[in-house]
A = this chain, B = another copy of it.
Amino acid sequence: MNSEIILIKIGANIKAIREAQGMSQQILAAKCNFEKANMSRIEAGRTNFTILTLYKISKALNIPLAGLLELDE
């Protein structure tokens, strides 16, 4: 699996979990203390984000860190 795909898959995971909670990108971004545009970038797999950004998101979604990285590799 190449790099682009990894980021796209993880972004899709985040989006799916967010939507399952009925939360908007706007709100999720706010809980993470950044702008919705940045969340869009992450969910689309358009940035190779860091562990701490992943952590902020996991906290905001109230799920364990590892829960965002299911890739069926």
| A contact residues vs B (CB 8 Å cutoff) | 3, 6-7, 10, 48-52, 54-55, 64-67, 69-71, 73
Contacts and interface: CB of A to CB of B under 8 A. Distances in A.
A67 B69 CA distance: 9
Nearest to A42: B51
Q: Copy number of this protein in the oligomer? A: 2
A73 B64 contact: yes
Given A65-B73, A66-B70, A71-B64, A51 B48 contact: yes
A60 B50 CA distance: 19
A71 B41 CA distance: 26
Contacts of A51: 6-7, 10, 48-51, 54
Q: Which 3 A-B pairs have the closest CB atoms?
A: A66-B66, A66-B69, A65-B69
